[in-house]
Amino acid sequence: NFPSASFFPSPSCSRSKSYFYFIALPALFKQELQDTEAEEGGTATLRCELTKPKAPVEWRKGDVTLYPGLKYEMRQQGCAAELVIYDLEVEDS
């Protein structure tokens, strides 16, 4: 099933409905994440570029979803998305 929206061309046609269906294309990677080296206690920034501006991005480490806070900062502008990791520890690799 696809999402649908009703369309009424004019008030005089209110008894007959026309439907249109659309498929939203997924956001794809234009530039994938690259390996980054940083020192323990430092900061690392991971960056990717998507095909759609402001596409929803979920950052994960394995099966764990990351959320903004003291450790992580998520930035997004246009098609670029960044994850900043503060106070790096060995477990962050």
User: Residue 15's pLDDT is what?
Assistant: 59
**92 part of a folded domain:** no
pLDDT digits 0-9 by tens, 24-57: 777 887 888 888 889 999 999 999 999 989 888 9
**81 part of a folded domain:** yes
**24 part of a folded domain:** no
Q: For residue 66, give its domain range.
A: 31-85
Total domains in the chain come to 1
User: Residue 31's pLDDT is what?
Assistant: 83
Regarding beta strands 29-31 and 44-50, do their DSSP bridges make them parallel or antiparallel, or are they unpaired? Answer: antiparallel
**61 part of a folded domain:** yes
**3 part of a folded domain:** no
Rounded to an integer, what distance in angstroms lies between the CA atom of residue 66 and that of residue 72?
Answer: 7
Judge whether residue 6 has pLDDT over 50.
no
Instruction: Look up the CATH number of the domain holding residue 38.
Output: 2.60.40.10
Q: What percent of the chain has pLDDT over 90?
A: 52
User: Residue 23's pLDDT is what?
Assistant: 74
What would the two tokens of residue 78 be? 């246009």
**5 part of a folded domain:** no
